[in-house]
Amino acid sequence: MSTDDKVTVSAAEFHRNVGVYQDIALTKPVTITKNGRERTVLLSAQEYARLKRRDRRVIAAGELSERQVDAIRNARVPDRYADLDKEIKD
């Protein structure tokens, strides 16, 4: 869902027509403004769930399984990034 597809509405207008904007939010974000400034965004439950799935979790190295440690240890940087090696040289 691209932000170009969003609808912007004042808080007063949103309050008067909540159902309308809930329906719109099923297909595109609805940005709600207060005093002319963006304040909140209404999203469909499906879009919210999609965004939540993209969340990342930070864990300590000691929490990694042996399999995960092996995967990291054996990971290789693709050749197309070889020019970045100069960034980490002494």
pTM: 0.58
Total domains present in the chain: 1
At 41, give phi and psi (nearest 5°). -130, 130
- Going residue by residue through the chain, which has 90 residues, state the pLDDT in tens, using 9 for 90 and above: 444 678 999 999 999 999 999 999 999 999 999 999 999 999 999 999 999 988 887 889 999 999 999 999 999 989 999 888 888 876
Q: How many CB atoms lie within 10 A of CB 29?
A: 18
Give one DSSP letter per residue of 3-51, joined into a string: GGG-EEEEHHHHHHTHHHHHHHHTTS-EEEEETTEEEEEE--HHHHHHH
Instruction: Residue 37: give the domain boundaries.
Output: 3-75
Residue 68 included in any domain: yes
Residue 83 included in any domain: no
Residue 24 included in any domain: yes
Residue 42, exposed/middle/buried by CB under 10 A (0-12, 13-18, 19+)? buried
pLDDT at 1: 47
User: At 16, which CATH number?
Assistant: 3.40.1620.10
pLDDT at 90: 64
